[in-house]
Amino acid sequence: MRSFFLRQCFVFLLLFLCWIPRSIADDRNPFANDPKAAKAGEYEFRINCALCHGLGAHGGGRGPDLTRAQKKHVHSDAEMFEVISNGIPGTIMPANGTNGQGVGMTDEEIWQIITYIRSVEVKATQASGNAAHGKELFYGDANCSLCHMVEGKGGRLGPELTGVGGSRTRAAIIDSVRNPSRRLAWGLAESTKEFPQEYETITVVTSDGKEIKGVALNEDNFSVQMMDASEQIHLLEKNNLRSFKKSRESMMPTYSADILSNKDLDDIVAFLTSVGAK
Amino acid sequence: MRAQKVFANRFTLCLVVVLSAIQSSAQVTFERLLNAGKEPQNWLTYSGDYSGRRFSLLDQINVKDVHSLVAKWAYQTGATGKLETSPLIVDGILYATAQDDRAFALDARTGRPIWMYQHQLPNDIRPCCGHVNRGLAILGDKVFLGTLDAHVIALDTKTGDVMWDAVAADYQKGYSFTVAPLAVKNLVVIGVSGGEYGVRGFIEAYDATTGERKWRFYTVPGPGEPGHETWEGDSWKVGGAPAWNTGTYDAATNQIFWPTGNPAPSNRGEGRAGDNLYSNSLLAVNADTGKMNWYFQFTKHDEHDWDATQVPVMIDSADNHWIAQANRNGFFYVLDRATGKLILANAYGKITWSDSKDAEGRPIAKKEASPTLEGHTVCPGALGTTNFMAPTYDPQTQLFYVTARDQCDIFSTAPQPYEAGHAYYGSAYFPSEEAEPYRGFLKAIDPATGKIKWKFEHTSPTWSGVLSTAGGLVFTGDAEGNFVALDATSGKTLWHFQMGGAVYAPPVAFAVDGKEYVAIAAGSAVYAFGLP
DSSP B372-405: BSS-EEESS-TT-SS-S---EEETTTTEEEEEEE
Q: CA-to-CA distance for B305 and A135, rounded, in angstroms?
A: 48
Instruction: Write down the pLDDT at residue A17.
Output: 43
Q: Which residues pair with B134 in a beta bridge?
A: none
CB B183 within 8 A of CB B174: no
> At B326, is the secondary structure helix, strand, or coil?
strand
Residue-level pLDDT, tens digit, chain B, 532 residues? 444 444 445 444 444 444 444 444 579 999 999 999 999 999 999 999 999 999 999 999 999 999 999 999 999 999 888 999 999 999 999 999 999 999 999 999 999 999 999 999 998 898 888 899 999 999 999 999 999 999 999 999 999 999 999 999 999 999 999 999 999 999 999 999 999 999 999 999 999 999 999 999 999 999 999 999 999 999 999 999 999 999 999 999 999 999 999 999 988 899 999 999 999 999 999 999 999 999 999 999 999 999 999 999 999 988 899 999 999 999 999 999 999 999 999 999 999 999 999 999 999 999 999 998 888 899 999 999 999 999 999 999 999 999 999 999 989 888 888 989 888 887 777 776 666 778 999 999 999 999 999 999 999 999 999 999 999 999 999 999 999 999 999 999 999 999 999 999 999 999 999 999 999 999 999 999 999 9
With an 8 Å Cβ cutoff, is A54 touching chain B? yes
Residue B469 and residue B478: Cα distance in Å, rounded? 19
Beta-strand runs (E) in A115-221? 149-150, 153-154, 201-205, 211-219
Can you give the pLDDT at residue B378?
94
Q: What is the dihedral of CA B10, B13, B15, B18, to 10 degrees?
A: -120
The per-residue pLDDT for A123 is 64
What letter represents residue B384's amino acid? G
Q: Are the CB atoms for B470 and B57 separated by under 8 Å?
A: yes
Shortest Cα distance from A9 to chain B (angstroms)?
39
Interface of A with B in 196-225 (CB under 8 A): 198, 219-222
Chosen for mutation from A52, A98, A220, A248 (greatest number of chain B CBs closer than 10 Å) is A220
Per-residue pLDDT tens over the stretch A22-37: 334 457 899 988 999 9
Residue A191 binned pLDDT confidence (cut-offs 50, 70, 90) = confident
* pLDDT recorded at residue A98: 63
| Alpha carbons B399 and A253: distance in angstroms, whole number | 46
**Angle (deg, nearest 10), helices A262-276 and A170-178:** 130
- Tallying the residues shown for chain B, one arrives at 532
Alpha helices in B171-310 (DSSP H): none
Structural element, H or E, at residue A112:
helix A107-120
Q: Which residues of B touch A219 (CB under 8 A)?
A: 459, 480
Q: How confident is the model at residue A4 (pLDDT cuts 50, 70, 90)?
A: very low
The amino acid that residue B325 corresponds to is Q
> Could you confirm whether B305 is annotated as catalytic?
yes
Residue in A47, A222, A248 closest to B496 by CB? A222
pLDDT of residue B12: 45
Q: Are the Cβ atoms of A46 and B478 closer than 8 angstroms?
A: no
Q: What sign for the dihedral angle of Cα B466, B262, B102, B463?
A: negative
pLDDT number for residue A128:
80
Give pLDDT tens digits for B65-84. 999 999 999 999 998 889 99
- How far, in Å, are A93, A147, B26, B93, B472 from residue B87 at the CA level? 33, 48, 19, 10, 22
How many CB pairs lie under 8 A apart between chains A and B?
101
Asked whether the beta carbons of A35 and A107 are under 8 A apart, the reply is: no
Candidates B367, B369, B228; CA nearest to B305 is B369
Strand, coil or helix: B418: coil
Q: Is the ipTM here above 0.85?
A: yes
Q: Is A12 on the interface with B (CB under 8 A)?
A: no
Nearest to A50 among B82, B428, B523 (CB): B428
CB A254, CB A179: distance < 8 Å: yes
CA distance to partner chain A, nearest, from residue B269 (Å): 16
Do A177 and A185 touch, CB atoms closer than 8 A?
Answer: no
The reply to whether residue B502 touches residue A193, judged by beta carbons under 8 angstroms, is: yes
The answer, yes or no, to whether residue A7 has pLDDT greater than 90, is no
Residues of A in contact with B412 (CB under 8 A): 46, 50, 55
Whether residue A220 and residue B412 make contact (CB cut-off 8 A), yes or no, is no
Residue A67's pLDDT band, with cuts at 50, 70 and 90, is confident
Q: Which of B305, B394, B406, B478 is catalytic?
A: B305
